[in-house]
Structure 1
Amino acid sequence: MLVLTSLCFTAMVLFCLAMTKHREQVIVHEVSILAVHFFRPLAWLLLSFTAYLSVDMYGWSIGPALLFGALTIAILLLTLLLTYRAKIVPKLAIVMSLIAIISIFIS
């Protein structure tokens, strides 16, 4: 479940960075327009991989339910962070990505 939540959080941060309002809220530096155009497709790709991983790990009976539960937790965490501590979102996304990668390779 930690892997799914970490990957969902990273995907939601990429969606967040694809939007101008949230990107200005989270990142101080200017991001190139080419990089911004890759955020949304990369987020969809990561979300699709998370769905595949969920079904592969838990099966079709419980996998989609766990995916939507992890997505709910990730969106709630991101919403609270954007409201109160927006500047730590990119750092936390990197940490969550590393946690997901380590968890995938361990299991």
Structure 2
Amino acid sequence: MKIAHALVAVAATFSLVQITGCAVARDQQTVGAYIDDATLTTRVKARFAENKTVSATSISVETLNGTVQLSGFAKSNEEKAMAETLAKSTSGVKSVRNDIVVR
């Protein structure tokens, strides 16, 4: 009887994965979209690390469906603007939301 219950559970799980497209986020983002967003986040962070104006450790980068959200703290308006410029000019970025606070 336990084997029958296990088989039913496996079949139900398999059906759910087939229906949802193997989503990985609560907003049902596909695995491919998740990987694309992670790649964009990494590209933007790498550009920050290469730039002397932007502190890569003080600014957080998150990406969802190609939209990059910047948050954290900048030392100046110049740093905030440069972070946004670098993010916007990164290949694959659709838009940028700049929520960086200047201290």
From the two aligned structures, give the one with the greater strand fraction: 2
Point out the structure with max Rg over C-alpha: 2
Say whether the fold is shared (TM-score over 0.5). Answer: no
From the two aligned structures, give the one with the greater helix fraction: 1
Larger relative contact order (CA 8 Å, sep ≥ 6): 1
TM-score normalised by L of structure 2: 0.32
